[in-house]
């Protein structure tokens, strides 16, 4: 007996990630929303949100972030997919252009159990915590494939992980929250680009037990805000 069935499909509507910045122009405010395998770019205007473009992505968007490169007024969009592919996109002359792209996956290594985190330094260096025991640092230039190296990172139960804006391009300072048997702690570490190692800059032990979010403060103030359920801590 033949069986007939009907199939209909529509674009994904569930939002997996969103960012706000100056993607289409330095005077524009854009809301950029990831929905499955596409990214919607909208312009914030006095009349409301206006659709600018839709960016199809080959893969499911895992995370994304905006970066403003040196001597550029508008920001570029860094996109990472669930298959560990990364691309840096820019908007120019009404079109979305891929500045660079490449694979990030390691042949060995166990994926992090509790946190996937992406953060971008003011110089454009991208740091991704995707595997246990290491952080992947990604260097890129327009028109070339991405280059990456791993840095040892043996801290348990990391809640958040961010680059700090020190106002200096060649100072790569990272703040992160982790907890161990003695409580939850905030630590600042500097990346030495020559030996590719993290060195402790400072540490504050026993912060709020429910602290989980870091918000970097732009230079010249610098430092970081640590958010907990009922408190906010500033640390520089």
Weakly modelled stretches of the chain, pLDDT under 50: none
In this prediction, residue 231 carries a pLDDT of 94
In this prediction, residue 169 carries a pLDDT of 86
Q: What CATH code would you report for 107-236?
A: 2.130.10.10
In this prediction, residue 115 carries a pLDDT of 61
User: Model confidence over 143-152: pLDDT tens digits?
Assistant: 778 888 999 9
Pseudo-torsion of CA 54, 55, 59, 64, nearest 10°? -100
Residue 180: alpha-carbon gap to chain centroid: 25
- Cis status, amide bond into 220, omega within 30 of 0: yes
In this prediction, residue 1 carries a pLDDT of 59
Among residues of the chain, what percentage have pLDDT more than 70? 95
In this prediction, residue 13 carries a pLDDT of 85
In this prediction, residue 8 carries a pLDDT of 60
Q: 4 Cβ partners below 8 Å, 6+ apart?
A: none
pTM: 0.86
Where in the chain is CATH 2.40.10?
A: 14-103
In this prediction, residue 113 carries a pLDDT of 66
CATH architecture of residue range(s) 14-103: Beta Barrel (2.40)
């Amino acid at each position: 007996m033949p069986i007939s069935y009907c199939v209909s499909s529509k674009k994904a509507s569930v939002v997996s990630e969103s960012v706000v910045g100056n993607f289409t122009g330095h005077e524009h405010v854009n809301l950029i929303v990831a929905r499955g395998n596409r990214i919607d770019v909208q312009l914030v205007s006095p009349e409301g949100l206006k659709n600018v473009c839709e960016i199809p992505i080959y893969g499911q968007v895992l995370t994304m972030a905006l970066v403003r490169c040196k001597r550029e007024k508008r920001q570029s969009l860094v996109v990472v997919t669930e298959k560990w592919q990364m691309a840096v996109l820019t908007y120019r002359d009404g079109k979305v252009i891929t500045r660079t792209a490449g694979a990030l996956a390691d042949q060995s290594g166990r994926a992090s159990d509790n946190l996937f985190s992406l953060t971008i330094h003011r110089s454009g260096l991208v740091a991704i915590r995707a595997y246990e025991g290491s952080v992947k640092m990604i260097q890129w230039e327009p028109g070339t494939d991405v280059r990456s190296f791993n840095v040892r990172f043996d801290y348990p139960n990391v809640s958040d992980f961010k680059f700090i804006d020190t106002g200096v391009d060649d100072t790569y300072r990272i703040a992160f929250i982790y907890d161990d048997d003695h409580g939850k702690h905030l630590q600042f570490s500097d990346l030495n680009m020559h030996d590719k190692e993290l060195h402790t800059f400072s540490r504050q032990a026993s912060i709020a037990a429910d602290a989980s979010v870091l918000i970097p403060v732009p230079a010249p103030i610098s430092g970081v805000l640590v958010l907990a359920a009922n408190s906010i801590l500033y640390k520089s």
